[in-house]
Amino acid sequence: MYVVAAKGLKVPKEFNPHDYIEQVITKVPDDSAYYARRITDTDLEETTEDAYKAQQAEIAAAAAEAAAELEKATKKQTKNSTAS
């Protein structure tokens, strides 16, 4: 099942209380009583695999855009430093 934390919350993961589920959709075990309880308590919201895939595509696109901007800035800086 796929879950996301309710707005403004950080929900500890079941077996790693120092790692949190926040606004990134996370896959968790379907048969977990812990996550079922967190959904019932409205700390977590269940979502769909399609929403998960869409969010992952957005994250990948943002990462690619950031990498392209970094490469562009690096090339500009290199060009400026070799021109000096």
HEC secondary structure over 5-72: ECCCCCEEECCEEEEEECCCCEECCCCCHHHHHHHHCCCEEEECHHHHHHHHHHHHHHHHHHHHHHHH
pLDDT digits (tens, 9 = 90+) for 25-74: 999 999 999 999 999 999 999 999 999 999 999 999 999 999 999 998 88
Place of tokens 């021109």: 83
Q: What is the pLDDT of residue 83?
A: 66
Q: What is the pLDDT of residue 81?
A: 75
What mean pLDDT comes out for the span 16-24? 97
What mean pLDDT comes out for the span 67-82? 84
pTM: 0.76
